[in-house]
Amino acid sequence: MEVLLLEIEDPGCFWVTMKGCGPYVVDEMEYKNLNAEMNQFYDKSYKDVDGVKPLTIEEGQICVVFSEELKCWCRAIIKSIMYCTDHYQTECFLVDYAKYIFVKSNDIRVALEAFMQIPYRAKRCRLYRTKPVTLRIDFFEGTAKIVPAKRWDSAATRYFQNLLKATTHMKAKLCAVEDNIFDVYLYVTIKDEKVCVNDDLVSKNFAHFEEAKENTWGSANYQENQTSLNIESLPVKSVNPARAFRPVLFQEKISTNLETGLAVSSSFQRSSTDLNESTACIVKAIPGLPVKENTAIHRDRLQQFLNFDLLKTHSIEDDEQSFQNLSEEKNFVFLSNKIEPSSNLETAPLFNDLKKELTRKKFLGPTFTESYCWPPVARGCDVVAISYQGNDPFLYIAPVLTFLQLGSCYKSLPNRSGPLALILCPGWKKAQLVFELLKTYERCSRQLHPMLIILGQNKEEARSVKIRGCEVIVTTPYSLLRLFEHHSLLFCRLCHLVLDEIEVLFSDATEQVFTVLDCYKKAIVTEEWVYSPHQIIAVGTRWNKHIAHLIKEFMNNPYIVITAMEEAAICGNVQQVVRSCMNNERTAVLLRILDFNHSNLQKVLIFTNSVNEAEMVHKALKSNSIFSLKIHKESEFNFKYILEQWTKKYSSGTRVVLVLTDDCMQSLGITDATCVIHFSFPSPRVFGQRLHSMSDNFCKVIKDSSVDQECTKAMSVILITENSACHALWILRYLQYAEAEIPPELHDFTAKMVEAEEDKKFSRPLCTYLKMFGICKNRTMCPDRHQINLQIDVPQNIPDKIIQAPGCVTILPLHIVNATNYFGRIVDKQKDQYTVLAEDINEYFKKPSNKISVKSVEKLAFYGLCEKTFYHRVQVVEISPKEEDNVFFNVKIKYIDEGRTSQVQSYQLLQLPAKFQCLPPQAVEFIVCRVKPIDNEIEWNPKVTHYINHKIKGKPHEAKIVHTLGNTAWVDPVVRVTRLSDLKMSVNEYNIRSEILSMGLGTDNPEHIMQLQKLCGHMKVLHHAENLEPLGMKEDTAGPESASNPQDMSAQENSSENCNSSKITFGNHPCGGVAQTAEADNSTLDQHKCFYPEIKWFQNEETVTVKVKIASATDCKCEFSKEKVVFSACSGDKPYLADMELHQYILAEQSTCVIKDEEAILVLTKEKKGVWLKLLKNKNPHLSFDFEHWEDFEDKSPFPVATSFFHQYDQKHLDSVAGRSKIQFSVKLTVCPSLCIWKTASLCTPLMSFRWDGQRN
């Protein structure tokens, strides 16, 4: 068709208006008439300007603005909003002229629906499958190549613009439509010569053709008069062209088939893409005009270019595959009663105002499951719906709202106060989301006055709830029963009971849910309910064994809709059988299964993953005289023949066996199999499809037991081998849900997998729920660590004196995460270093000359930041990708002295002098112990969090630290103390734990600390100083100047690679990271049983001798390298491992290892002669210096102070002093100017080379 150019950005984005005929082409006269009507209306409305002004403006809003250039009113879309001194300036895109203009917010007018009936005049186009290239220069190899690029370069854009400006005639061939963008072949006429612009750009190396998977299009030289855009070839009668590209705001959804593309919503609020569904309908209606994903270019077209191979790109199918996975449920549905689905919004059983509201909100639906759920729900029938999207409340909200509009249905109910509908949710968070969704769509219905009721254990709160006039209540089972205690007539008018996420309700609150059901059942047995509706709706993602009892006892002929086939198999009493064997034994096991004469083995499908497996199985069956068919993509039999053989009637007792690959399932469409044998282990995606092959034999009568042998008509046999690790954990959970018999081998196998998965998380942060409550309910899905890693969990930012002498400390909560989790500082009661530092920082930045903005922002670096009038130390934890034209960009920062995070602009960061970085980060995480949320909740109700936040934030509290790990301190109690200076006394205002309990939203959690101590192997973290072994010297990594550098500490916190550096641990701990004491039972720790041995070392000028203390060592191995030594051995049933990264280099080939009874001696030959100040690069709590060999080289000792002292005092003198006074004193061993270690010792202990300063400690 002929097109007229409006605007050019690049070959991937240019705007045209179309001429001629077609379902999406509007005559130019209609646009002129539209402009005249708009000008007349908006010019006359100047007297009542407020009546046509929008109440609010936002990006993406459709409006009408006046163009000074065009001198007329134009339809437009707001692209951006900028704030000026006295008004808002908006950038608007004129949708009929493809122009951008700036308009004041006061000059924007509301776009009336009457002016939005015809499509936008400007159509955005791009060259079909023509992608940009660029020249890549490799300076290292000295080569230059043309490679695909992400954006068009200026040379290609300039050439494209010049080519189009020089044309005298322009035509376009439409090939596809995606996101309201037309993909076209563009033909131009220049000096009577026709040129295909797509080909021209490729031939001149400005572009390349994107390779396609299918050969559906011919050459570019295809005759233009044969294009599919000719009006004669377009069957447009099924679609109103005026609706094709009308604005989404006013667009009504066009009737579409389910197969035209199903969008599955992952959130409760649906949103649509720019390409509306009516556009897709037009594309589907045009023969030869595919949508974007189904189009391709013939390979012959590209072979005309010499550099085809160079520019060849690979197609990526991940996104398409992902979409198919999400949409798989549309192919399968299990129904207990026949339902005619509502495949589109126009035919959906919803009231008209709700349909308009959904259209206005760009609702994409109904989904496949909704199309089957909505009709029975809207008719008031009982419904059970199990789907992959079963946690989406839109499965029931829209049809329930529709039914509630029928006021005449409720006239026979007693004239009392009480709800008509009750929605039970598994927790307060889901209840809040459902309530917000109800409030959103209640605006278009009659007034229902919905209420969200979340009650604690405070009886006064439940008594004070007023439900008069409320017709819909959203709550949880626990809250409902508390409310029912004080409102006995709660069920007297209840007609609709909705159970949201039924599997969670039955697993977490079984007793409470059945109590509610009993109350509802008793309420509807009276005579006045004979002519009133009573409906129960249960939706979820998984089948639960209690659903059968729900259906049998409380529902009346319910409609069961299950679109997750593996769940339908549980509901349909499919018998799940597991056989474990070695991979090479599968064929023998298969033959034994088929030898078993069972009624379920009449029509058997054997699924394999590959053609080779299918051939192997078929051959094995044939050799054992078992009649079988086979089908796979390379098979010589066609599907028609196989189906004829499968459906042929055989005599009783005759067995039909079909061996096939997974890719043949949908083509065959078999649903009457009686047995499925998974010869190849199924993935979750394939498992449900395989089970669908038996759907005709699913039991339609719901039994209380998950598998009733009398009702079982279908069987699924799974062969599990040593190669089934990939999906073994998933299949185990499914079999547990199905209550199938599980072989012990599978339990053992998956237990090892769970342990391996936990090992992968070893460098992750400790699980938040584990820290807050002592337990994580979903360890397998939780991404964080659930075991102690002493290399990470060493106390940080907590003063040593507090750890060594536990007691009451003053804490200052500054950032409240929830009711029991805070970040703040530990305040020194004598002299708080941070207070001094904060004063110095604020004094420093008062001078304008010191406020120097950072030019180059670095990740993990420290900066200053002004917040109101106070300056903070912050660390950059994440830098957002810079936009090409942006001078400033967003960065994510952490307030290292408060613990909170925030997003700021890069220009707000100030250079922080090094003197202000000396003090380590002060932020500590505090967790209040022995309290947790009520009702099995895993998150605190916002009500209690807001209360605690208001009460404690920024106020000092007295707390006792009972446990420390990493940067986290567990505190109990935490008390606000007010000092009355006049009376010289203190008053305890409140205890935080008691405050939470008094609100009724928290309950006692006595096992909190016990669980943490069990996790730590019952090690008392507070008293780890008592577990110190009498080591003379410990390895250190850096001197005092680096020890106080917060940059180093933050790097350790933010990088798992540094988890071995600068950490102090105590006692003899497993190297896997779980602490262990002599009394600890081995049964408490089964994850990591690899221990780190005690090591002592000494040296001379040429060698270093390392003694590894292991009694009766066996299986010893020692590996030497230039800068590392790895020693491993076993002692009894305990494995030991010492992985030592050396401070300096050694000669590996000259180093030796000698094993003795009580120890292993490693002699390391130094690469360079001299004295080593330390053995290892990093700290190690299990390493100490061996002073027994001090005299071997004391003349060349690196410890001159200690050596001289050894000769000044003899042992008799020391003994005489010890006899006079058994006191404690401090000794100081000077190793070098940057490394000092202090130790407390008794006077009666031989001091060897220690130096006594003669003063009391």
- Rounded CA gap, 1149 and 1061, in Å? 28
> Is 90 exceeded by the pLDDT of residue 1009?
no
Which burial class, exposed, middle or buried, applies to 895 when counting CB atoms under 10 A from its CB (0-12, 13-18, 19+)? buried
Phi, psi of 523 (to 5 degrees): -75, -25
Highest mean pLDDT: which range of 265-274, 837-846, 1225-1234: 837-846
Query: Helices (H) and strands (E) in the chain — how many of each?
Result: 36, 52
Question: Which carries the bigger pLDDT value, residue 524 or residue 707?
Answer: 524
Output the DSSP codes for 350-373.
Answer: S-HHHHHHHHHTT-----HHHHHH
Looking at residue 615, the DSSP 8-state letter turns out to be: H
Give, for 756, the enclosing helix (H) or strand (E).
helix 744-760
- Rounded CA gap, 874 and 13, in Å? 43
What is the structure's pLDDT at 711? 59
DSSP 3-state of 642: helix
What is the structure's pLDDT at 863? 94
End-to-end, the C-alpha distance of the chain in Å comes to 97
Question: Which carries the bigger pLDDT value, residue 901 or residue 21?
Answer: 901
> Is 60 exceeded by the pLDDT of residue 1042?
no
Q: What angle do CA 740, 745, 749 make, to 5 degrees?
A: 105
Contact 510, 546 (CB under 8 A): yes
Q: Which residues of 637-673 are buried (b: 16+ CB within 10 A; e: fewer)?
A: eeeeebbeebeeeeeeeebbbbbbbbebbeebebeeb
**Rounded mean pLDDT of 798-808?**
63
Share above pLDDT 90 across residues of the chain, in percent, rounded to a whole number: 28
Q: What is the pLDDT of residues 929-944, one digit of tens each?
A: 999 999 989 999 999 9
- Rounded CA gap, 496 and 419, in Å? 9
Residues 6+ apart with CB under 8 A from 228: 174, 234, 286, 287, 288, 289
**How many other C-beta atoms are found inside a 10 Å radius of the C-beta of residue 1024?**
20
Among the residue ranges 84-88, 125-129, 860-864, 1056-1060, the one predicted with the least confidence is 1056-1060
Output the DSSP codes for 94-110.
Answer: ETTTTEEEEEEGGG-EE
Residue 497: both structure tokens together: 């009971």
> Is 90 exceeded by the pLDDT of residue 283?
no
Contact 37, 58 (CB under 8 A): no
> Is 80 exceeded by the pLDDT of residue 833?
yes
Q: Chain-centre distance of CA 1144, in angstroms?
A: 44
What is the structure's pLDDT at 140? 67
- Rounded CA gap, 170 and 151, in Å? 25
- Neighbouring C-alpha atoms within 13 Å toward the C-beta of 674: 17
Highest mean pLDDT: which range of 157-166, 316-325, 1226-1235: 157-166
Residue 1256: both structure tokens together: 């009391």
- Rounded CA gap, 759 and 860, in Å? 27
> Is 50 exceeded by the pLDDT of residue 1059?
no
Give, for 277, the enclosing helix (H) or strand (E).
helix 277-285
What is the structure's pLDDT at 383? 95
> Is 60 exceeded by the pLDDT of residue 1244?
no
Q: In 575-714, which ranges are E strands?
A: 575-580, 603-608, 628-631, 656-661, 675-678
What is the structure's pLDDT at 326? 36
Q: How would residue 266 be classed by pLDDT, with cut points 50, 70 and 90? A: very low
Give the CA distances from residue 34 to residues 29, 244, 247, 831, in Å, rounded to whole numbers and listed in that order. 8, 18, 15, 77
Q: Phi-psi category of 39—alpha, beta or left, where left has phi over 0 and alpha has psi -120 to 50?
A: alpha
DSSP 3-state of 876: strand
Q: Which residues of 280-295 are buried (b: 16+ CB within 10 A; e: fewer)?
A: bbbbbebeebbbbeeb
- Rounded CA gap, 331 and 259, in Å? 9
Residues 6+ apart with CB under 8 A from 182: 123, 124, 125, 126, 172, 174, 176
The structure's pTM equals 0.58
Q: What share of the chain is helix, strand, coil (3-state, %, to 5)?
A: 30, 25, 40
What is the structure's pLDDT at 551? 93
Contact 766, 785 (CB under 8 A): yes
The residue with tokens 């709160």 is: 461
The residue with tokens 């072979």 is: 303
- Rounded CA gap, 72 and 57, in Å? 21
Residues in the chain: 1257
**Rounded mean pLDDT of 506-515?**
93
Averaged pLDDT score across all residues of the chain: 76
Share above pLDDT 70 across residues of the chain, in percent, rounded to a whole number: 75
Among the residue ranges 54-68, 244-258, 681-695, 1194-1208, the one predicted with the least confidence is 244-258
Question: Which carries the bigger pLDDT value, residue 537 or residue 1250?
Answer: 537
Q: What is the pLDDT of residues 876-903, one digit of tens each?
A: 998 877 654 566 788 899 999 999 999 9
What is the structure's pLDDT at 667? 82
What is the structure's pLDDT at 45? 67
Q: How would residue 685 be classed by pLDDT, with cut points 50, 70 and 90? A: confident
Highest mean pLDDT: which range of 422-426, 979-983, 1031-1035: 422-426
- Rounded CA gap, 854 and 908, in Å? 8
What is the structure's pLDDT at 381? 92
**Rounded mean pLDDT of 189-218?**
76
What is the structure's pLDDT at 1171? 87
> Is 80 exceeded by the pLDDT of residue 948?
yes
> Is 70 exceeded by the pLDDT of residue 286?
no
- Rounded CA gap, 1057 and 1051, in Å? 9
Give, for 377, the enclosing helix (H) or strand (E).
helix 368-378
Give the CA distances from residue 184 to residues 2, 203, 303, in Å, rounded to whole numbers and listed in that order. 12, 18, 21
Q: How would residue 225 be classed by pLDDT, with cut points 50, 70 and 90? A: very low
> Is 80 exceeded by the pLDDT of residue 128?
yes
Edge to edge, the sheet with strand 1114-1120 lists 1114-1120, 1124-1131, 1134-1141
At position 479, the amino acid (one-letter code) is S
What is the structure's pLDDT at 820? 95
Residues 6+ apart with CB under 8 A from 270: 263, 361, 362, 363, 364, 365, 394
Phi, psi of 519 (to 5 degrees): -65, -40
What is the structure's pLDDT at 403? 92
